């Protein structure tokens, strides 16, 4: 028998907010890349927001994650400061 899990409205709303944050972050990163403000390559996470939010939501604080070149969504879902993550893309010392 498959066990059912009931997720609260508050938890689901939190997931949705995280997904929107990731999408907005990626949209802004794409804009800055197009303007030449971000150098190198930029691999966006658009369309995969639910993957990061769902996967990260079941981790414990002491769990580690290993990502690949498309990792902004994971960082944001893990709770990293969006300003510091964006600073990293800009190559600033305030980046993560």
Asked whether residue 1 is assigned to any structural domain, the reply reads no
Q: Which helix (H) or strand (E) element contains residue 22?
A: helix 9-34
Asked whether residue 69 is assigned to any structural domain, the reply reads yes
- How far, in Å, CA of 71 to CA of 36, rounded? 20
Asked whether residue 51 is assigned to any structural domain, the reply reads yes
DSSP labels, 52-67? HHHHHHT--TT-----
Residue pair 73/45 in contact (Cβ under 8 Å)? The answer is yes
Indicate if the pLDDT at residue 1 is higher than 80. no
pTM, to two decimals: 0.88
Asked whether residue 70 is assigned to any structural domain, the reply reads yes
Task: Identify the domain containing residue 48 by its residue range.
Answer: 9-89
The string of pLDDT tens digits covering residues 42-91 is 999 899 999 999 999 999 989 998 888 778 899 999 999 999 999 999 99
């Amino acid at each position: 028998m498959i066990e059912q899990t009931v997720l609260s409205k508050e938890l689901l709303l939190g997931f949705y907010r995280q997904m929107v944050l990731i999408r907005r972050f990626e949209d802004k990163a794409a804009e800055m890349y197009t303007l030449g403000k971000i150098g190198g390559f930029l691999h966006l996470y658009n369309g995969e927001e639910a993957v990061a939010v769902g996967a990260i939501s079941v981790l414990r604080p002491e769990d580690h994650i290993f990502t690949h070149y498309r990792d902004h969504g994971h960082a944001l879902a893990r709770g990293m400061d969006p300003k510091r993550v964006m600073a990293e893309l800009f190559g600033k010392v305030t980046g993560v």
